[in-house]
A and B are shown apart, each in its own frame.
Chain A
Amino acid sequence: MIALWYAIVSLMLIIYVILDGRNFGAGMLHWFVARTPEERRQVIAAIGPLWSWHEVWLVGFGGTLLAVFPRLIASAFAGYYLALFLILWSLILRGISIEVGGHINDRLWQGFWDFVFVFSNCLLAVLFGVAAGNVARGVPVDADGNFSMAFFTNFSVRGQVGLLDWYTISIAIFAATILAAHGATYLTLKTEGPVHDRCSKYATYLWATTVPLFLAISVESWTVRHDVVGRAIHNPFCWLGVFVILIATGTMIFGFMSRHEMRAFLGSNFILVGLLTTGGAAIFPVMLYSTLAPENSMTAYSAAAGEQSLRLAFLWWPVAFALAIVYFVFISRRYVGKVSVRRDTQGYY
């Protein structure tokens, strides 16, 4: 039961990352792939109508996590206090920049909100990367299950660690790169004209860059948490994740070569799915690894709510998820097609 809930919340997080990750990516590349004010509106319009639908997956994930793993929320959210508020503020600025930028057709106004858009998305990609790095490396959980972390201490990965060290920074660089690549792939699918051509070039370079970075963080992960990597080799779900990554990479390369942009984008999504599945399966059942003493670590079993609450959540969760799939089908049919620099394809953005 608890393992199943671990899988469900992981699934919701994965869906959030592939959905909002494209917006982070598009935001990071905004200034590079779109050069004129018209092209910049085109990029915003390509993600415009759906950002709030993507962002609510984070809300759904957070709520579900609170319902089934309340002790994790209590320790982790309080422990990551300042980092979480930076994420929240960036999310707020990002949403506002998309919504109000298009309201006034003025270069200064739009230029300012474009800056906010780029800045907040860069920060979000890096912060979520740092968060992933912290989950993998562990945090200084004490005997009571609490921790409180500075932004950085001495940049080492053992003992009283900070949010930033050489390992979490590497993960953040990898995360920012792969999300930028994901965003470029999405924009290739959703745009036409010069923006499309630049995105397709950027996507190729960025995906090529992720390969050496991936090898680097794999080696780093081995040195930081060889226990996890050692266990992962015997975990079939990790192999499933790796298998998904390989198939998805093939699909994406084939998609780019044959100009099947939808196929390339699907590949891009499933590379992220595979990566996160491998990571999530590798650390299970530990949700908060303690860098102070492994016995302080919080596992899915110690973080879960009572049996009764978990069983009742099963009553409504599949219904809600099925409805979400229905909306998803509606939305994908509704917003199919490319966005151009012509205003009539862009809605209100």
Chain B
Amino acid sequence: MNGSLSDPAFWSRFQFGFTLIYHYLFPQLAMGLAWFLVYWKWRALKTGDEKYNRAVRFWAKIFGLNFAVGVVTGIPMEFQFGTNWASFSRYAGGVIGQTLAMEGMFAFFLESAFVGALIWGEKRLGPRYHFLAAVAVACGSWLSGYFILVTNAFMQHPVGYQVDPRGSLVIGSFSAYLLNPWALIQFSHNQIAALVTGSFVVTSIGAFYVLRQLHPVQAQLYLRAGTFTGLIASLLVAFPTGDQQAKMVGRHQPVTLAAMEGKFVGGPDAGVAMIGQPNVAARRLDNPIEMPGALSFLAYGHFGSYVHGLDEFPTNAWPDNIEILYYSFHLMITLGTIFILLMAYARFESWRGRLESNTLLLWVLMLALPFPYIANTLGWMTAELGRQPWLIYGLFHTNAGYSKVVSGGDTLFTLIGFIGLYFVFGLLFLYLVGREIALGPDHEPMVNLSPAVGGSRDGGTA
């Protein structure tokens, strides 16, 4: 983002980035949590044990709040393609519009039709249909993720398109577009990362209840399910999905890989920097501590493999914010490694039967809640900053994509509006979810009191 502050492209990028990062805090929990709901509902069906139904009821309330903020912050994303990125829409709308429309019509229709049934239809639907509602919502949320990732994958690695006589893009092969190899790998990486978020949130609430000595049965359920899924997901997000993702970047966007790794000079036996600060002006990594040969091995399979450096590419092909790209990627990897260690230790303690009594571990699990959100955000920053200076890699420059008729002042105005609105929503969401957590899974809503007898008391209708 080297544009000046009066540059409309800068503010449009800032606004899209801000609204997207904020929006994605919600879908990642929805996609991660949805399968916990399906699992518990299924266990309730099989065993008839009421504790599973209690868990579904509790988490469905949090899911509902999360879903509402996800829906309302998601709609601006679609509109901004037209409002702020008109030139891009004119050029590529015939391609990316397809998957955006399919997301709306296949995924959102499914999800929004059944989410109400999931949250408060338990009695009216009966257990079997309530289970199906949970499955429908989970499928809807993952389908929506797939269509968005196909759209993004086209921007990372355009395939299956043709150029029509007017110079804009149309779809050449629908199957090539929908089954873009980039999309398949990115989808698996991203969805498992969402499961990491879901697992850490479930684990964290479980740890909180154990430390508080509240709801012991539910707390144990959340801790067990959360750490089990958490360990598997943390492993899968690194290997094979994260590994494949990095290899794919190395194959199709070598300059991006060089920038992510802070590799200013190419060569064989390339190391992975454990610590180091990129100094772009001097074109070197300051204070580096490297693991020799590791990058060559990770990217190309041999310790001696040649890894391209930024020096092999003209500077105008470099991603335009190497520092943030480098830190995003490295912090994501660091966090991912910590997740594996933490969850492995938690499972080990669980196997020894000491998970609920290891206070230090419970504290760490409880406080770990924000970190998968941070890791997911950093992953998306790596993907999107790494794609620069292209809007569609190799086809269309970011600076060519914004709306020429919209002034920087207009964009700044709407950006300020979003920041204000979203700040308030953040507080509201935390307050309401915090309140649900404080009321806890054993709290039964008193829905049967009529207002004539005084109405349901505080919290009764939550």
**Contact A78 B101, CB 8 Å, known A89-B421, A100-B432:** no
- Please report which residues of chain B, range 85-112, place their CB below 8 angstroms from some CB of chain A when the two chains form the complex: 86-87, 89-90, 92-98, 100-106, 108-110, 112
**B127 interfacial by beta-carbon distance below 8 Å:** no
**A38 interfacial by beta-carbon distance below 8 Å:** yes
**In the complex, which of the residues B83, B90, B109 contacts A70, with contact meaning CB atoms closer than 8 Å?**
B90
> Are A78 and B405 within 8 A (Cβ)?
yes
Chain B count of residues within 8 A CB distance of the other chain: 85
* Complex Cα gap A349–B461 (Å): 7
**In the complex, which of the residues A65, A68, A78 contacts B86, with contact meaning CB atoms closer than 8 Å?**
A78
* Complex Cα gap A84–B431 (Å): 30
**A208 interfacial by beta-carbon distance below 8 Å:** no
**In the complex, which of the residues A66, A320, A331 contacts B105, with contact meaning CB atoms closer than 8 Å?**
A320
**A240 interfacial by beta-carbon distance below 8 Å:** no
**In the complex, which of the residues A41, A53, A58, A67 contacts B94, with contact meaning CB atoms closer than 8 Å?**
A67
**Which of B165-173, B211-219, B367-375 makes up part of the contact surface?**
B165-173
- Please report which residues of chain A, range 303-331, place their CB below 8 angstroms from some CB of chain B when the two chains form the complex: 305-309, 312-313, 315-317, 320-321, 323-324, 327-328, 330-331
* Complex Cα gap A99–B119 (Å): 12
**Contact A77 B109, CB 8 Å, known A38-B451, A66-B101, A347-B120:** no
**B406 interfacial by beta-carbon distance below 8 Å:** yes
- Please report which residues of chain A, range 90-123, place their CB below 8 angstroms from some CB of chain B when the two chains form the complex: 91-93, 95-96, 99-100, 102-106
Task: With both chains docked as a complex, state the minimum distance between the C-beta of A183 and any C-beta of chain B, in angstroms.
Answer: 20
- Please report which residues of chain B, range 114-134, place their CB below 8 angstroms from some CB of chain A when the two chains form the complex: 114-117, 119-121, 124-125
**B174 interfacial by beta-carbon distance below 8 Å:** yes
Interface string of B143-173 (1 = CB under 8 A from A): 0000000000000000000101010101110
> Are A85 and B414 within 8 A (Cβ)?
yes
**Contact A147 B109, CB 8 Å, known A62-B104, A66-B82, A105-B455:** no
Task: List, in ascending order, chain A residues with CB within 8 A of B462's CB.
Answer: 102-104, 348
The SS class assigned to the A binding surface is helix
> Are A78 and B406 within 8 A (Cβ)?
yes
**A32 interfacial by beta-carbon distance below 8 Å:** no
Task: List, in ascending order, chain B residues with CB within 8 A of A92's CB.
Answer: 72-73, 75-76, 421
Task: List, in ascending order, chain B residues with CB within 8 A of A66's CB.
Answer: 78, 81-82, 89, 93, 96-97, 100-101
Task: With both chains docked as a complex, state the minimum distance between the C-beta of B258 and any C-beta of chain A, in angstroms.
Answer: 34
**In the complex, which of the residues B114, B116, B124, B172 contacts A308, with contact meaning CB atoms closer than 8 Å?**
B172
Task: With both chains docked as a complex, state the minimum distance between the C-beta of B37 and any C-beta of chain A, in angstroms.
Answer: 16
**Contact A148 B425, CB 8 Å, known A56-B112, A82-B410, A95-B71:** no
Task: With both chains docked as a complex, state the minimum distance between the C-beta of A56 and any C-beta of chain B, in angstroms.
Answer: 4
> Are A309 and B414 within 8 A (Cβ)?
no
> Are B428 and A104 within 8 A (Cβ)?
no
**A234 interfacial by beta-carbon distance below 8 Å:** no
* Complex Cα gap A49–B118 (Å): 11
**B404 interfacial by beta-carbon distance below 8 Å:** yes
**B458 interfacial by beta-carbon distance below 8 Å:** yes
Task: List, in ascending order, chain A residues with CB within 8 A of B115's CB.
Answer: 52
**A74 interfacial by beta-carbon distance below 8 Å:** yes
Task: With both chains docked as a complex, state the minimum distance between the C-beta of B188 and any C-beta of chain A, in angstroms.
Answer: 23
**B3 interfacial by beta-carbon distance below 8 Å:** no
**Which of A167-175, A215-223, A338-346 makes up part of the contact surface?**
A338-346
**Contact A91 B97, CB 8 Å, known A74-B90, A77-B86:** no
Most buried by A among B101, B172, B405, B447: B101
> Are A49 and B405 within 8 A (Cβ)?
no
> Are B116 and A82 within 8 A (Cβ)?
no
**B64 interfacial by beta-carbon distance below 8 Å:** yes
> Are A327 and B113 within 8 A (Cβ)?
yes
Task: With both chains docked as a complex, state the minimum distance between the C-beta of A318 and any C-beta of chain B, in angstroms.
Answer: 10
**In the complex, which of the residues A308, A317, A348 contacts B64, with contact meaning CB atoms closer than 8 Å?**
A348
**Contact A309 B171, CB 8 Å, known A66-B101, A67-B93:** yes
> Are A59 and B104 within 8 A (Cβ)?
yes
**Contact A76 B82, CB 8 Å, known A59-B75, A348-B461:** yes
> Are B101 and A67 within 8 A (Cβ)?
yes
**In the complex, which of the residues B86, B106, B449 contacts A323, with contact meaning CB atoms closer than 8 Å?**
B106
* Complex Cα gap A80–B414 (Å): 13
> Are B168 and A52 within 8 A (Cβ)?
no
The SS class assigned to the B binding surface is helix
- Cβ-closest chain A residue relative to B90: A74
> Are B82 and A78 within 8 A (Cβ)?
yes
**Contact A91 B83, CB 8 Å, known A52-B115, A324-B109:** no
**A79 interfacial by beta-carbon distance below 8 Å:** yes
**Contact A85 B417, CB 8 Å, known A63-B105, A320-B105:** yes
Task: With both chains docked as a complex, state the minimum distance between the C-beta of B250 and any C-beta of chain A, in angstroms.
Answer: 32
**In the complex, which of the residues A41, A309, A330 contacts B98, with contact meaning CB atoms closer than 8 Å?**
A309
Task: List, in ascending order, chain A residues with CB within 8 A of B190's CB.
Answer: none
Task: With both chains docked as a complex, state the minimum distance between the C-beta of B104 and any C-beta of chain A, in angstroms.
Answer: 4
**A88 interfacial by beta-carbon distance below 8 Å:** yes
> Are B79 and A77 within 8 A (Cβ)?
yes
**Contact A105 B456, CB 8 Å, known A323-B110, A342-B450, A348-B120:** yes
Task: With both chains docked as a complex, state the minimum distance between the C-beta of A349 and any C-beta of chain B, in angstroms.
Answer: 8
**In the complex, which of the residues A91, A317, A323 contacts B109, with contact meaning CB atoms closer than 8 Å?**
A323
Interface string of B243-258 (1 = CB under 8 A from A): 0000000000000000
**In the complex, which of the residues A68, A105, A342 contacts B458, with contact meaning CB atoms closer than 8 Å?**
A105
> Are B451 and A53 within 8 A (Cβ)?
no
> Are A91 and B101 within 8 A (Cβ)?
no
Task: With both chains docked as a complex, state the minimum distance between the C-beta of A231 and any C-beta of chain B, in angstroms.
Answer: 27
Task: With both chains docked as a complex, state the minimum distance between the C-beta of A141 and any C-beta of chain B, in angstroms.
Answer: 11
The 5 closest A-B pairs by CB, nearest first: A70-B93, A77-B82, A67-B97, A305-B94, A63-B101
Given contacts A66-B96, A308-B164, A308-B172, 18 further A-B contacts (CB under 8 A): A49-B116, A66-B97, A68-B97, A73-B86, A74-B89, A85-B417, A92-B72, A105-B456, A305-B164, A306-B162, A312-B98, A316-B105, A320-B102, A323-B110, A324-B105, A327-B114, A330-B113, A334-B124
A residues at B contact (CB < 8 Å): 38, 41, 48-50, 52-53, 55-56, 58-68, 70-71, 73-82, 84-85, 88-89, 91-93, 95-96, 99-100, 102-106, 146-148, 305-309, 312-313, 315-317, 320-321, 323-324, 327-328, 330-331, 334, 341-344, 346-349
Name 30 interchain pairs, CB-CB below 8 A, sorted by A. A53-B109, A56-B112, A59-B74, A60-B105, A62-B82, A63-B101, A66-B81, A67-B93, A68-B97, A74-B87, A78-B82, A78-B405, A79-B405, A80-B83, A81-B83, A81-B403, A84-B83, A85-B76, A88-B76, A91-B72, A92-B75, A92-B421, A99-B68, A148-B406, A306-B168, A308-B164, A312-B98, A316-B106, A334-B117, A343-B447
